[in-house]
Chain A
Amino acid sequence: MSADTAGIDTLRLTAEEAAGLLERGEVSSAELVAAYRAAIEARDPELHAYLHVTDDEHAGDGGGVPIALKDVITTKGVPTTAGSRILEGYVPVFDSTVAARCKEAGLPLLGKTNLDEFAMGSSTENSGFGPTRNPWDTTRVPGGSSGGSAAVVAAGLAPWSLGTDTGGSVKQPASLCGVVGLRPTWGTVSRYGIVAFASSLDQVGPLAKTVRDCARLYGITAGRDACDSTTVELPAPVELPEREDLRGLRVGVPRELNEVDGIEPGVRERVQEAIRLAEELGAEVGETTLPRSVEYGLACYYLVAPAEASANLARYDGVRYGHRADLNGDGDLTALYERTRWEGFGAEPKRRIMLGTYALSAGYYDAYYGQAQKVRTVIKQEFAAAFEDFDVLLSPTSPTVAFPLGDKVENPLAMYLTDVLTIPPNMAGLPGLSIPCGLSEGLPVGLQILGPQFSENTLFAVGHALERALGFDFVPPRLAA
């Protein structure tokens, strides 16, 4: 058991406990920050979960529980790179809405966490600044793209963090790092100041050690923002879950989300145990089906997201900020654009930009992008039908536990498959919570809890009850020693 500065055990301390310490005056916010900085100094060199750690001036002294933000979340005066060389050295002159809300809530900023470049990836290996390692096993990936945000929570380098989730980028790394992660209903958390990947899918979500911490952070960040036209007010305030049973709850188990090829046996077993546990807690469990959502979801996603990305990443042109190629005085504007962008972007963004450009280009729009937008309607309808019979749906979050670094780097399609279970609900704008539900091969397994739009309070209630019953120990054994 490791005790850090001022007796604060950052490996175990939850945000709620930290808030309690602050409230009772047992520690100061500055002491908390110092404890996490010490932990970062001790453990981040081997993990590389942070891209930037703030100094006192930029951390702020709001007096609350400190936080880490994924480096796609714009922070005024603090470098924001989106994990890309093309934004190296960029220092924003404004705050994203979520960063501003964290500031208003008094949360000091510990630093900016590593990610797959422009949030494109599932392992954090696509970072332009080197990969992050999984705190449970440093030969393995933390998942992605919010791998840094998941790893800092798992390794006690921040009590909680914010990530972003487009195809599963909060839920999947939460699963692989043994922490809790929420992908909220699209439109409930402002995207203003979130470096855009795929606008109709991107959503900011909290990562923490407990469901209650996630709910707290969601409450701080969610709600209509005048700077984001696509946001709405929450229909009901966020409720911190308390109940420890699931009586009266209808739990659906979508066959395809639980049986698709590639789900590891150990993952399937832990999830089935969790489903049985739900039944023991009083839930009514039944089977349901999402035939086309799972079969076509991935293909749909890999058309919609790259298409939107191809436009969202057009602004990186070396004119107003970021990397600019050196033409040595030889070359026109087009040469400047083409070289700047080729040098500045890594392989995955370039691949997706080209894919998306192709899917939108004359003659292909209807067959690719247009068709994908229709598939999206089908997916929405299938989920809507399932939610007529069930309050929540359960499945694994990721088909596998954390995989070794380098395993899928050369095979983009294999990497894309790791999101096969998180993508379908995301296409429909649905919220999803991932909680750890046990170990397979000594590595965490995540349970995905899905609900209809705006059902976050239900997800928190289910997640909290299961979390209590499961009693998962979120401290990686190799760090607890």
Chain B
Amino acid sequence: MAITREDVLHVARLARLEIPEEEIGRVQEQLSAILEAVGKVSELDLSDVEPTSHPLDVVNAWAEDEPRPSLPQDEALANAPDPEDGHFRVPAVG
């Protein structure tokens, strides 16, 4: 399964990766080769098979609704690249 240049750009956009022009071709080639290999899964007719998303058959794991201490504000922000006024600052959203 070969993927197109547009596919690469679309996927990079969805994944928020700023792919430089000169790398698009190489990425396209590599992804195509990998997709061709993994596309092998479609050889099997598995229409009657249930998917497995958890290897273990565990259900109903939850916690009681009892508060635990939160982090102090300075610890919450300790690793922040751009803290401001108790908040995490980011460039304009729109």
Residues of A within 8 A of B (CB): 89-91, 93, 185-187, 200, 226, 229-230, 232, 292, 295-296, 298-300, 302-303, 310, 314, 317-324, 327, 331-339, 341-342, 345, 350-351, 353-355, 357-359, 361, 367-368, 370-378, 380, 412-413, 416, 427-429, 453
Flag if B56 contacts A429 (CB, 8 Å): yes
Report which of B10, B40, B49, B81 forms a contact with A378, defined as CB distance below 8 A. Answer: B49
B-chain residues with CB within 8 Å of residue A332 when the two chains form the complex: 91-94
Q: How far is the CB of A347 from chain B (nearest CB, A)?
A: 9
User: A354 and B49: CB pair below 8 A?
Assistant: no
Smallest beta-carbon distance A78→chain B, Å: 13
Do A93 and B18 touch (CB < 8 A)?
Answer: no
Pick from B20, B79, B93: contact of A322, CB below 8 A: B79
For A295, what are the chain B residues with a Cβ–Cβ distance below 8 Å? 40
Give the interface size class of chain B: 35 or more
Most chain B beta-carbon neighbours within 10 Å: one of A302, A317, A319, A375:
A375
Q: How far is the CA of A342 from the CA of B15 in the complex (A)?
A: 10
Q: Point out which of B16, B18, B20, B39 has the most chain A C-beta atoms below 10 A from its C-beta.
A: B16
**Interface pairs A-B: 4 shortest CB-CB:** A429-B55, A373-B51, A321-B79, A338-B18
Which residues on the A side are within 8 Å of B46 (C-beta)? 371, 374-375, 377-378
Contacts of A226 in B (CB 8 A): 63
Q: Are A299 and B80 in contact (CB under 8 A)?
A: no
Chain B residue contacts of A334, Cβ below 8 A: 16
Partner of B78, one of A91, A300, A354: A91
- 16 additional A-B pairs beyond A324-B81, A341-B17, A361-B10, beta carbons within 8 Å, are A93-B75, A230-B54, A230-B58, A319-B90, A334-B16, A350-B27, A351-B27, A351-B31, A354-B31, A367-B39, A374-B44, A374-B49, A374-B52, A377-B52, A412-B34, A416-B34
Q: When the two chains form their complex, are residues B61 and A229 in contact, meaning their CB atoms are under 8 A apart?
A: yes
Q: Would A371 and B41 be within 8 Å (CB), given that A310-B15, A320-B88 are in contact? A: yes
Q: Is the CB of B91 within 8 A of A380?
A: no
Shortest distance between the CB of B52 and any CB in chain A (Å):
4
Contact: B15 with A200, CB < 8 Å?
Answer: no
Could you tell me which residues of chain B, from 50 to 86, have a CB within 8 Å of some CB in chain A? 50-56, 58, 61-63, 71, 75, 78-82
Closest Cβ–Cβ distance, residue A414 to chain B (whole Å): 11
**CB atoms of A186 and B31 under 8 A apart:** no
B16 contacts A303, C-beta separation under 8 Å = no
CB pair A300–B33 under 8 Å, yes or no, is no
Question: Can you name 29 A-B pairs with beta carbons within 8 Å?
Answer: A187-B56, A200-B53, A200-B54, A229-B62, A230-B58, A232-B56, A299-B40, A319-B80, A320-B79, A322-B79, A324-B82, A332-B93, A333-B91, A341-B17, A353-B17, A354-B15, A357-B11, A357-B15, A358-B31, A358-B35, A367-B42, A372-B41, A373-B51, A373-B52, A374-B49, A374-B51, A377-B46, A378-B44, A413-B34
Q: Give the nearest-CB partner of B54 in chain A.
A: A200
1/0 contact trace for B21-48 toward A, CB 8 Å?
0000001001101110111111110100
Which residues of chain B are near A453, meaning CB under 8 Å?
Answer: 55-56
Closest to A186 in B: B55
Instruction: Identify the closest chain B residue to A454 (Cβ).
Output: B56
Check if B33 sits within 8 Å of A413, measured CB to CB.
yes
With a cutoff of 8 Å between Cβ atoms, the chain A residues found around residue B94 in the complex are 332
- Given A91-B78, A303-B41, A324-B81: A377 and B58 within 8 A (CB)? no
* Chain B, interface SS category: loop
Secondary structure at the A interface, as helix, strand, loop or mixed, is helix
A453 CA / B54 CA spacing, docked (Å): 13
Contact A91 B8 (CB under 8 A): no
Q: Are B91 and A336 in contact (CB under 8 A)?
A: yes
Q: Which residues of B contact A333 (CB under 8 A)?
A: 90-93
- CA gap between A436 and B41 in the complex, in Å: 33
Min distance, Cβ A417 to any Cβ of chain B, angstroms: 10
- Closest-by-CB residue of A relative to B64 is A226
* Nearest chain A CB to B47 CB, angstrom units: 9
- The answer to whether A321 touches B80, judged by C-beta atoms less than 8 angstroms apart, is yes
The residue on B at minimum CB distance from A323 is: B81
A-side contacts of B15, CB under 8 Å = 310, 314, 341, 353-354, 357
CB-based contact B52/A380 at 8 Å: yes
Chain A hits for B41, CB < 8 A: 296, 299-300, 303, 368, 371-372, 375
Write the nearest CB–CB distance from B25 to chain A, whole angstroms: 14
Provide the residues of chain B in CB contact with A338, threshold 8 Å.
16-18
In the assembled complex, the CB of B61 is this many whole angstroms from the nearest CB of chain A, namely 4
How far is A200 from B58 in the complex, measured between Cα atoms in Å? Answer: 13
Question: Which of B8, B17, B30, B55 is in CB contact (< 8 Å) with A200?
Answer: B55
Q: A332–B80 Cα gap in the complex (Å)?
A: 18
Chain B residues near A376 (CB-CB < 8 A): 51-52
- Give chain A residues whose Cβ lies under 8 Å from the Cβ of B58: 187, 229-230, 232
Chain B contacts of A302 at CB under 8 A?
34, 37-38
Cα-based distance from A167 to B27 in the complex (angstroms): 23
